[in-house]
Amino acid sequence: MSEAERELSWRHERGSTRLLLGSGAFERLLAERSRHLDRAPLLLVDESVLEGHRERIDSIAGTWSGAAVVAVPGGERAKCFAELERVLEACAERKLPRDGVLIAIGGGACTDLAGLAAALWMRGVAWLAVPTTLLALVDASVGGKTAINLGAAKNLVGTFHAPQQVALDPSFLVTLPRAELRSGLAEVVKAALLSADDSFAELERFDPETELRSSRWLEVIERAVRLKIAVVESDERESGPRRALNLGHTLAHGLEQERGFGALRHGDAVAIGLVAACDFAVARGLFTPAQRARVVALLARFGLPLSPPRDLDVSAVLRALLLDKKIEGGRLRYVLPRGLPAAAPGAVAFVEDVSAAEVERWLYSSIESSSSVSQ
Ligand SMILES: NC(=O)c1ccc[n+]([C@@H]2O[C@H](COP(=O)([O-])OP(=O)(O)OC[C@H]3O[C@@H](n4cnc5c(N)ncnc54)[C@H](O)[C@@H]3O)[C@@H](O)[C@H]2O)c1
Ligand SMILES: [Zn+2]
């Protein structure tokens, strides 16, 4: 199969999702759909993507007469009831039929909103995802989770509704702010840590400055997506092995909450969470100091933070962790890396003996060591 025709598939309880991969996968997917779709689809497009790629999107929308393009606010502002209602009203206005299609072109926030709207409209219509951030390409594109927020509470209102098809087209990344790209790299590192092949070693040889349309980037994205597919296929509803994907996320969620949502990028929080998870794994003999050093060096080379901000309110982080559902009897349920590479895709250690005091000590010593390094 030539690079231009690469595709993956992910099997789930409702059938399977086809993922087309490559520069131009967006056009390839939509050209294919236009042959089979009589009714015009509704395109939900992230406002920044619409601004940066208007010609491309207009040209696709022009394939169907009467196709509607609805701009969706960037980031978390998309994930609220008001936006959900606006999208559903657009479906009503266009009389989107039961066999109609929603197409979401944007970051994870836009695809989360679109997926939920597609699940609700007429009790469920098909939708296609065109992720345009690195995080959405490697993470939100697979798994079928859709959600909006309830006030400040993230992802409380949602359901599983997998897209029918996904275009993994890295050429959208050319307009993505660098900080967003860096943040996405944290999820790529997480996926490599969960991989049983040479993904991590490959990342150590990868230069993120490489041209975004190059096959090197495609390969990095494809490896992370393959890993997520392998883990998700083994556990669709997150009862067991899928929890491995939470690697680095327990502390990340606490840090995001302490900062206030949006103040700390998700990937930056995950990078700090990965360092903590490596340290806790070393303390339990699951990971060697040398393996930990490789992870830290890679995160640092990608420009990701390794320790929390100096003005962190440590007790607020601990309060957030203790309120989180991962707590049981004062101990945190924690996902720790085990070996590098992992013995099998998603093979991590699930431990229940990380105490709040251990996390507290880690936070203080991490802040202290980062302060002394930069003095
Ligand atoms: N469903 C899932 O499985 C899943 C997985 C991971 C994350 N998420 C969700 O994804 C959301 C985060 O998504 P995200 O990090 O992809 O970003 P995002 O959707 O929050 O967008 C971040 C910013 O990038 C802009 N943007 C997006 N694509 C762009 C492009 N190509 N060029 C220029 N600007 C662009 C947006 O306008 C926004 O300002 C969170 O709400 C999270 O809960 C969902
Ligand atoms: Zn994440």
As a whole number, mean pLDDT of residues 36-62 equals 92
pLDDT of the residue at 287? 97
CB-count burial class (<10 Å; 0-12, 13-18, 19+) for 114 = buried
In the chain, the percentage of residues whose pLDDT exceeds 90 is: 81
pLDDT of 72 strictly over 70: yes
Quickly state the pLDDT bin for 14 (edges 50, 70, 90): confident
Average pLDDT over residues 137-149: 96
Task: Of 257, 270, 121, 266, give the one whose Cα is nearest residue 193.
Answer: 270
Average pLDDT, the chain: 93
Would you say residue 324 has pLDDT above 70? Answer: no
Burial environment of residue 20 by CB neighbours within 10 A (0 to 12, 13 to 18, 19 or more): buried
Calpha distance 74→237 (Å, rounded): 28
Q: Which ligand is nearest to the CA of 142?
A: 1
The pLDDT of residue 325 is: 57
Rounded to an integer, the average pLDDT of 18-34 is 93
> Which pLDDT does position 211 carry in this prediction?
87
Distance 106 CA to ligand 1 centre (A): 7
pLDDT of residue 375: 42
Pocket test for ligand 1, best of 23, 44, 45, 46 (most atoms within 8 A of CB): 46
Question: Any residues with Cβ below 6 Å from ligand 1, and which?
Answer: 46-49, 52, 74-76, 79, 106-110, 112, 132-133, 135-136, 139-140, 143, 145, 155, 172-173, 175-176, 180
pLDDT at 1 over 70: no
CA atoms within 13 A on the CB side of 173: 30
pLDDT at 269 exceeding the cut of 90: yes
Query: Atom 12 (ligand 1): residue with closest C-alpha?
Result: 108
CA dihedral sign, ordered 89, 90, 92, 98: negative
* 238 neighbors 145 (Cβ within 8 angstroms): no
pLDDT category of residue 65 using cuts at 50, 70 and 90:
confident
Identify the pLDDT of residue 329. 64
Specify the DSSP class assigned to residue 152.
Answer: T
Q: Among all chains, which residue has been given the structure tokens 């002394």?
A: 372
What are the tens digits of pLDDT across the range 76-130? 999 999 999 999 999 999 999 999 999 999 999 999 999 999 999 999 999 999 9
Q: How many separate helices (H) and strands (E) can be counted in the chain? A: 14, 12
Please give the average per-residue pLDDT across 164-181, as a whole number. Answer: 96
Q: Is 207 exposed, middle or buried (0-12, 13-18, 19+ CB in 10 A)?
A: exposed
User: Average pLDDT in the 47-70 region?
Assistant: 93
For residue range 217-230, list pLDDT tens digits in order. Answer: 999 999 999 999 99
Delineate the domains of the chain, giving CATH numbers in brackets: 3-175 (3.40.50.1970), 178-373 (1.20.1090.10)
In this prediction the pTM is 0.95
CA angle 215, 196, 245 (to 5 degrees): 90
pLDDT at 175 over 70: yes
Closest ligand to the CA of 50: 1
CA distance 164 to 278: 36
> Cα(24)–Cα(28) distance, rounded to whole angstroms?
6
